[in-house]
Amino acid sequence: MRVVIVGSVALDTIRTPGAVRADLLGGSASYASLAARFFARPAIVAVVGDDFPAADWETLAGAGVDLAGVERASGPTFRWDGSYDASLKERVTLRTEVGVFGAFRPVLPEPVRGAEALLLGNIDPALQEGVLAQMPAVALSAIDTMNYWIGSAREALLAVLPRVHLLLLNDEEARELTGEADLVRASLAALRLGAEVIVIKRGPNGVTACGPWGWLALPALPLESVVDPTGAGDAFAGGLVGCLAGRDWRRRDAFACALAAGTALASLSVEAFGVAGLARADARAVAERCRMLGELCRFDPPETR
């Protein structure tokens, strides 16, 4: 099974109260592909500059990520510099250098257009529409994080939503997109905008999904040592969409299983800086997280007297 992931490949500087790490491999497509690989073969469609380190290329390629769709352009790679507060829950962007990503026009290599799933990362909705046109019959198309575009390109975004199956949002995006403060109502309002499934990624509060099978919800794994939350939502999306590639996402059990996969990958991602947690994980670690998640929330129904 194959999943095409369109998004950013970046070099990040990440500042936490405990440490500063510069020039880390990052970007939504890096996180999502390193998570998706446990369930499907990921192919990235992205752009990097001529400064992109060979070692980072090898991190992705060595993990089995198909990089045929990654353009090497002349100029600097996309860079992001951000700083977290003591709780690791709030962050501020100190600097964004768009570099070659500013002129990115995603073109999917012919061989990947037959993939079973497509994950569209945080890019201009007009570009997302262009990608969808290149895979008109894809069995599952998903759009992830789009905070910036909800404000700045709302019309284009509303035009693309009826064309995708799955919309991933975080709490804040769900509220901003729909104007509903309550997340249950926001999910239902978002469904009316066109996608068939709304997934709300809630970080340490878990995840909810609303679709043809009704509601699904899972708690997050309780983690004592979160090191770097960057990319957790992308790792979640990669695990989710990778796990659904080639499966019928309109079936409740397939979707619930994929939500568990996403939850497991997000938990592995945040335990190290950048993509290190995902890159070092193996199938056994992923299976172990899924087992832990099952132990966390499995219950037998109580008997009333």
Alpha-helical regions (H) of the chain:
28-36, 54-62, 125-134, 147-152, 154-160, 171-178, 183-191, 232-244, 252-269, 276-280, 283-297
Q: Give the pair of three-digit tokens for residue 77.
A: 């790679």
Output the CA–CA distances (angstroms, integers) from residue 122 to 102, 126, 234, 299, in the order listed. Answer: 13, 11, 10, 37
Tell me how many residues contact a copy of itself (CB under 8 A): 57
Q: Which of 181, 192, 212, 280 binds a copy of itself (CB under 8 A)?
A: 181
Provide, rounded to whole angstroms, the least separation between the CB of residue 241 and a copy of itself. Answer: 12
Q: Give the pair of three-digit tokens for residue 113.
A: 């257009």
Q: Does 298 bind a copy of itself (CB under 8 A)?
A: yes
Interaction residues for a copy of itself, span 79-118 (CB under 8 A): 86-87
Q: Which of 9, 26, 29, 38 binds a copy of itself (CB under 8 A)?
A: 38
Q: Which of 9, 35, 220, 235 binds a copy of itself (CB under 8 A)?
A: 220
Q: Which of 188, 191, 193, 279 binds a copy of itself (CB under 8 A)?
A: 188
Output the CA–CA distances (angstroms, integers) from residue 150 to 122, 178, 270, 288, 300, in the order listed. Answer: 11, 10, 26, 37, 41
Q: Does 166 bind a copy of itself (CB under 8 A)?
A: no
Helix (H, G, I), strand (E, B) or coil at 289: helix
Q: Does 10 bind a copy of itself (CB under 8 A)?
A: no
Q: Which of 256, 132, 266, 152 is nearest to 199 (CA)?
A: 256
Provide, rounded to whole angstroms, the least separation between the CB of residue 292 and a copy of itself. Answer: 8
In the complex, the residues that contact a copy of itself under the rule CB under 8 A are: 1, 38-40, 86-87, 181-185, 187-188, 202, 204-206, 208, 210, 214-220, 222-224, 226, 243, 252-253, 256-261, 264, 283, 286-287, 290-291, 293-302, 304-305
